[in-house]
A = this chain, B = another copy of it.
């Protein structure tokens, strides 16, 4: 029942992950109004600020839920070390998201930031859930796509930068990640090679990869709907943005 690791073909596994990711991103790019409005050069600062505040929210929890995986009794030393090291690298990244929106005029204290949208809360809750229960390796599925998303989203960020006339110093969140994540992605793959032992491990990674990318796409949609509501005067959460 438990296949031995040497029989697992990791390179085919990574190929299959890439192909799933490629399809999923394609689907997101086709259906996401947030992505479309960025690509067409029509995004407003307000919409971007809403997106970055939601990003701030979930980013705040990434180091925490990553570290929690390492504290489980059912993890190897190799995997625990990966979890803690990556957690150390992710600490405080939410502050970059906040810095970036402040650099374009958001002027509110951290405690005045509204609560996360439901879609964002769901991603946060789900990440704690899959970090604390189930196959402990499954969180690698989140890292796999998150540390490897820049080839998909760089053109979108580039367009965003032009439309909103942002300096590199105003895009610290995306640029810092796009730098760090090259090494991180290699770490993720090496950790998968060193820790996955069974088909069930691989399936758990695939499951969380697909689910967390989909929940992130749901945040894109939630952000867009919130923005539309705000423009129609129906959002109380983000109404403070209209006064700034």
Residues of A at the B interface (CB closer than 8 Å) are: 63-64, 67-68, 70-71, 77, 80-81, 83-85, 87-88, 91-92, 95, 118, 121-122, 124-126, 128-130, 211, 214
**Protomer copies:** 4
Interface SS majority for chain A: helix
Residue from the list B67, B95, B126, B130 in contact with A77, Cβ < 8 A: B95
The 7 A-B residue pairs with the shortest CB-CB distance, nearest first, are A77-B92, A125-B129, A84-B88, A84-B87, A125-B125, A81-B91, A64-B71
Q: Is the CB of A77 within 8 A of B91?
A: yes
Q: How far is the CB of A23 from chain B (nearest CB, A)?
A: 16
Contact of A128 among B84, B128, B214 (CB under 8 A): B128
- Shortest Cβ distance from A79 into chain B, in angstroms? 9
Query: Which residue of the partner chain B has the closest CB to A73?
Result: B133
Given A84-B85, A88-B88, A128-B125, A70 and B70 touching (CB < 8 A)? Answer: no
- The residue among A68, A125, A211, A214 with the most chain B CB atoms within 10 A of its own CB is A125
Quick one: closest B residue to A76, CB to CB? B92
- What is the CA–CA distance of A128 and B80 in the complex, to the nearest angstrom? 17
Most B C-beta atoms less than 10 A away, residue of A71, A84, A118, A128: A84
Chain B residue contacts of A125, Cβ below 8 A: 122, 125-126, 128-130
Please name all residues of chain B whose beta carbon is closer than 8 Å to the beta carbon of A211 when the two chains form the complex. 118, 121
